[in-house]
Amino acid sequence: MTAPTPTASGARTLPRRLVRVLDLAEQTVGAICLGVILVLVSIQVVQRVTTGGSWVWSGEFAKYAMVWLTFILAAHLLRTDGHLKVDVIEQWLTPRGERIMTRITDGLIAVSCWGLVWAGWGLLTAPFLGSAPASGVPLVIVYAGPVVGLVLIALTATWFAIVGRSPEDQSDEQQLPEGVL
């Protein structure tokens, strides 16, 4: 892994190669989960229309894919500033005040996520975990997605809280396609 490099403004950014690998991995898992959801729900709809019933496990599996999709892609959205947020306080702050507020927010996100990782790890290592009722998927696999996603979010938020975000990490001036907003 390469050391973080200072930018022209003196802020340090996340190592580029690491970010690219994480983004690619997260987006791949997200695309696979989205594809699984699309296929299983479509099969379920066709089965219900044609036969009046459906595979019980397909809906359960699609729900688990949605959970994985949500938690795994959340770290990517935090890194690219692509998540929904409410900028009520920031609009009245100076640029320095906004950076301080962002660091405080990132610190709170990091603390919250590390707490959830701790609780999730306890759930993953619990001796009573079995398997999902309809699909038979081991619950360790089901619960691993959120824990991995929370670790990625916590690491990203911890980095941003300690080092700060560089202008490259924040995409305030996102270029949207014409006709969007």
**pLDDT for the residue 168:** 57
Q: Are 27 and 76 in contact (CB under 8 A)?
A: yes
Averaged pLDDT of the chain: 83
Higher pLDDT, 114 or 15: 114
pTM passes above 0.75: yes
**pLDDT for the residue 173:** 44
Residue 147 has pLDDT above 60, yes or no: yes
**In this structure, which long-range contacts are made by residues 104-113, counting pairs with CB atoms below 8 Å and at least 24 apart in sequence?**
106/157, 106/158, 106/160, 106/161, 106/165, 107/157, 107/161, 109/78, 109/153, 109/154, 109/157, 109/161, 110/154, 110/157, 110/158, 110/161, 113/150, 113/151, 113/153, 113/154, 113/157
Q: Are 61 and 137 in contact (CB under 8 A)?
A: yes
Residue 175 has pLDDT above 60, yes or no: no
* Burial track 2-26 (b if 16+ CB lie within 10 A, e otherwise): eebeeeeeebebbbeeebeebeeeb
Per-residue pLDDT, averaged over 76-101, amounts to 85
